[in-house]
Amino acid sequence: MPNVTPIRFDFQSTVDASLQRLWAFYMSPDALRRLSPPLSFFRVVDPGAGVANGSLLVATVGPWPLRRRWVATHAGVQSESSFVDIAIESPFAHWVHLHRFEAAEGGGSRLIDVVWFLPPRGVPRWIGRLLAAGPLRWMFRWRHRVSRRAVREAATEPRRQATAVEGHVAGGR
């Protein structure tokens, strides 16, 4: 009998931004597009209602002609704490992704991703683990780097807008 215990993958990093700012980025309508590495070939077809309990996301993944549909539902949404993506239809036999956000010392935050997956049907579990480890590590490094950049940009955006307004007002006198 095959082992059907999901494989667990963890990735976490510290973000130099408040928990509220990090959460706000993940709740923004553009977050998933920004978090998807270009070479992942992940494209959102229908974002549904965003990150909300029961909301469905429809996407495609993979290059043509290997492109597959990916449908996931959001569950367990706890504001400024966590949410889960559960794949209903994907190339994987099982895919559950926990996004967790925690306050860290010094006013920063901790971004934690935990994925439980099983490789596509017919692919032995041990091969799935070997083949997925590198790409998952690469993808989550990308996502965490993008997250850090996005919250850093969001922190400077109000200052940029205020400076532009002040410059305009000052220049008009």
Owning domain of residue 94: 7-164
In a domain, 172, yes or no: no
The confidence score (pLDDT) of residue 170 equals: 34
CATH number, domain of 94, equals 3.30.530.20
The confidence score (pLDDT) of residue 65 equals: 87
pTM of the full structure: 0.86
Backbone φ and ψ of 93, nearest 5°: -70, -25
SS3 state of residue 52:
coil
In a domain, 171, yes or no: no
The whole-angstrom separation of Cα 9 and Cα 159 is 38
The confidence score (pLDDT) of residue 2 equals: 66
Question: Could you count the other beta carbons within 10 Å of the beta carbon of residue 26?
Answer: 19
In a domain, 1, yes or no: no
The whole-angstrom separation of Cα 108 and Cα 159 is 20
How many structural domains comprise the chain?
A: 1
In a domain, 169, yes or no: no
> Where does 16-122 show beta strands of DSSP type E?
43-46, 56-61, 68-78, 82-89, 94-103, 109-118
The confidence score (pLDDT) of residue 163 equals: 36
Q: Which residues of the chain have pLDDT under 50?
A: 159-173
- Closest residue by Cα to residue 116 from 133, 94, 93, 132: 94
In a domain, 93, yes or no: yes
